[in-house]
Amino acid sequence: MVNETCSASNGMVSGGVASLRSDGSSSGGESSRDSSRCSTPVLDAERHDRLREKMRRRQESGDKWFSLEFFPPRTSNGAVNLISRFDRMGAGGPLFIDVTWHPAGDPGSDKETSSMMMASTALNYCGLETVLHMTCCNQTKETITAHLHKAKRLGLKNIMALRGDPIGEEWQEEVDGFNYATDLVKHIRSEFEDYFDICVAGYPKGHPEAESYIDDLKHLKEKVSAGADFVITQLFFRSGTFLKFLKDCQAVGITCPIVPGIFPIQGYHSLRQLVKLSKLEVPQEIKDVIEPIKDNDAAIRNYGIELAVTMCRELLDSGLVHGLHFYTLNREVATVEVLRRLGLWKEDPRRPLPWAISANPKRRVEDVRPIFWASRPKSYIYRTQEWDEFPNGRWGNSSSPAFGELKDYYLFYLKSKSPREELLKMWGKELTSEQSVFEVFRCYISGEPDRNGHKVTCLPWNDDPLAPETNLLKEELAKVNKRGILTINSQPNINGKPSTDPIVGWGPSGGYVFQKAYLEFFTSSETVTALQTVLKKYGQRVNYHIVNVKGENITNAHDLQPNAVTWGIFPGREIVQPTVVDPVSFMYWKDEAFALWIEQWAKLYEEESPSRMIIQYIHDNYYLVNLVDNDFPLDNCLWQVVEDTFELLN
């Protein structure tokens, strides 16, 4: 990278700014982005609410809600799959999820399969309000306190305090720990005051170790009096069981929310295992149905769905139940089907913001991001996790944003959901030329299968199918990818569409959203030479930034200022501009964008193989380009820019 500031006349950056090293790689600046603070009212007030406040709001408004329980996986691949499930099931709108605590699985560690890490990932990277289970089992007071401090550092604000199941047949006294959930609740309140919202367990038939049902109600009252905010119950099989329990709780003075735990029966063996653990008796009428079909999982699942729907309707229709908590067993089909039939599954295509939010409390005011990570939000969250403050209202002058380095592309929450063999089928078991790569991109955009009949459903820069708004550009994108403009990010120009638009809408209703056309792609040095000539004709209508892997870059961005490319106007609020093209952030993104060629694609092949050499050549010689058409009310001119470039090349 050369060494002066940008000259608008020729667009050549002959030099870096403080945050860009002379070798073109990125380096961190200050500890946080403290130059871009602005107080803008948040678009989604619930992002600031505590979980107990969200429950209260729902109860007061009469809105029904649901939550989901998951358990930590045993393997790293299981962790990747569970994160995908969080994303899919999170789309239905749960109020929160919870992650169970498995004493035998090192639950408070940094292992990717631990309860702590799965809960942190759900919160920080999947944007889900998350409750972490914590048990007294096999833990000292000091260990529990350390786990709670760690949970707080990770942004977790909700704990389900449980005694836990004994490791052996009977409970062993914890000499330096706690033997009852009540003591754990008291400890959390004593050490952390009101920081955590605390949930405790209730037993509609009484705890199996309790002296009596009445005695167990007294113990539940003690847990609530010690500081619990709400109760989730053990599973049950009849709605009347829960409604009686609810009435009895109220009779002894328990006034906090009590949420029924729902278990859709999904298989004969899973039912037997759960019943064994919970020491519950399955009603005879259910046994009579299940026994004859015990070897038919599909039939049992369908019966379980019908049973759960009927019971949930009875609970909701009682007027006493506002939310339902589902024990998913890490499966989705049955739970999602029950929720759909109840009308609780709400896949609203509109978003609070145009990008995937994090639920970490310190990011609740965040409402501006660079567009480059639009398809890799988990990576962006990872690289900015150490920031003390986050842009609110505007991005500001980003002369030194401190993006953390992304060294490990195989972190389970950044890893592709597709296994290696599947990726080879999509991206080519054997590449023969650069045109082979062009065809992979074209198939991804068009949705058409390749010549071997395989559909390309992801790329290294986007692990998901195309976003709905990208489909608006599909025809043009397919054409340019076929010719070596390898697009990894794009958006159409939008001039005042309603915020409720199902494809491009975001934010609260009653507003209007706007976008400048944006195109980001890799292309050859020959194409870049022609593109530079063409861009001179467009002046400041088109802002551009062109960079290679070495960091040699060309831009006409004024004084390295950010360019707002998405904004919205809403009743009673200032203009919100949640997405920018920021020249300095682009240099951090280019490190990641180029590295993905190697880390996720080239490494699929043997070293020195022709396929690997082709990807290596593209990595070493192609440029990463972004283009912004500033005249958003007019027809998008970027396609003409590309067409003019091809004409010049020919």
Instruction: Tell me which residues are annotated as active site.
Output: 69
Residue 200, number of CB atoms within 10 A of its CB = 26
Q: What secondary structure letter does DSSP report for 601?
A: I
- 625 token code pair: 């380009």
Q: Quick check: 511 and 568 in contact, CB under 8 A? A: yes
Q: For residue 260, which phi and psi values (nearest 5 degrees)? A: -70, 135
- 457 token code pair: 């459903």
Count of alpha carbons within 13 angstroms of residue 187, beta-carbon side:
25
- 611 token code pair: 């396929």
Q: Quick check: 578 and 354 in contact, CB under 8 A? A: yes
Cα gap 323→171, rounded to integer Å: 32
β-pair partners for 26 = 20
Q: What secondary structure letter does DSSP report for 188?
A: H
Residue 281, number of CB atoms within 10 A of its CB = 10
Cα gap 245→233, rounded to integer Å: 10
* 3-class DSSP state of 615: helix
- 154 token code pair: 């990770």
Spatial CB neighbours of 114, under 8 Å, sequence gap ≥ 6: 72, 105, 106, 107, 108
Cα gap 99→73, rounded to integer Å: 10
Nearest to 211 by CA among 156, 133, 39, 203: 203
User: What is the enclosing helix (H) or strand (E) of 262?
Assistant: strand 258-262
For the chain, the helix, strand and coil percentages under 3-state DSSP, each to the nearest 5: 40, 15, 45
Location of structure tokens 């794009």? 490
Nearest to 485 by CA among 442, 517, 446: 442
Residue 3, number of CB atoms within 10 A of its CB = 9
Q: For residue 293, which phi and psi values (nearest 5 degrees)? A: -115, 20
Q: For residue 160, which phi and psi values (nearest 5 degrees)? A: -100, 110
Cα gap 415→527, rounded to integer Å: 32
